[in-house]
Amino acid sequence: MKKIVSSLVVAGMLSFGFNVYAQEVTSGEQEVIVVDEDDDALDNDAVEDDLADISLEEQEDVVAVADSGEDESEKAEVSFTSKLKQKFIEGDPFWMGIVLIALIIGLALCIERIVYLNLSSINTKKFLADVESALSSGGVDKAKELCRNTRGPIASIFYQGLDRSGEGIEAVEKSVVNYGGVQMGLLEKGVSWISLFIALAPMLGFMGTVIGMIQAFEKIVEDGQVSPITVAGGIQVALLTTVFGLISAIILQIFYNYIVAKVDGIVNEMENSSITLVDMMLKHKVTSK
């Protein structure tokens, strides 16, 4: 009995001692783990702070680059406008203003002609097919109605030719030729004024240059000596009017060539369509020979 009790006591003491040792070991490991977690947390916080600092610096760099790009574009726009104004003032506002007025009037005439010519252009092939269909189905009256409701010089010429269908083919041809000349004059209306401003703009610029040179030499005479700064400044100011006049003439010349080419194309269509009209009238026997 004593042996059993003593053995139980020994076993209990051993188990108690083992549990105490296990708890101490476990607590030690937990402390180590806690210390490690704290160290890792500190390291992670430091890394995150570094990344945040880097990202903020990079963001600031990107924002700075974007702001500098916007500032440069704004400066470029402002500098171009300010330079243009400065050169306009340096080139004598009186003569530069005259050249500018010539450019504005010339551009207005060019825009008016371009709009008019574009409105005068039609699909000629479709129009000829419609006229022939009207002649075959409804006769001269229906064809005249179609021409009356169609814009452009070709339709007007066709209307005049069809209106003289009862007077013979010679009267039709004569009416088409005469009215074609009238329509050509309407197409070329104002073109001569554009050519005038093309020639006038550089001439005004040259006149401003000559007057500027005269003023520069007068200043030299007043000073009593030849100063390179005075001569160079006077020549630079005088040449600005020439440059502006040449630029104005170049711009107007481009529009003028486009307008002339457009007029030539419409006139060629008018001539070809007039021949086709006479052939259609003979084909459908709507006029006497």
224 close to 162: Cβ distance less than 8 angstroms: no
d(CA 11, CA 4): 10
CB-based burial label for 233 (10 Å; 0-12, 13-18, 19+): middle
The pLDDT value given to residue 214: 81
- Which runs of consecutive H residues, i.e. helices, occur in the chain? 2-90, 93-120, 124-148, 153-163, 169-187, 191-223, 228-283
The pLDDT value given to residue 83: 75
The pLDDT value given to residue 267: 93
The pLDDT value given to residue 93: 78
Q: Which residues of the chain are under the pLDDT cut of 50?
A: 1-42, 46-47, 50-52, 54-57, 59, 62-66
The pLDDT value given to residue 171: 87
264 close to 187: Cβ distance less than 8 angstroms: no
91 close to 244: Cβ distance less than 8 angstroms: yes
195-244 residue pLDDT tens? 999 999 999 988 888 887 887 777 777 777 767 776 666 677 778 888 89
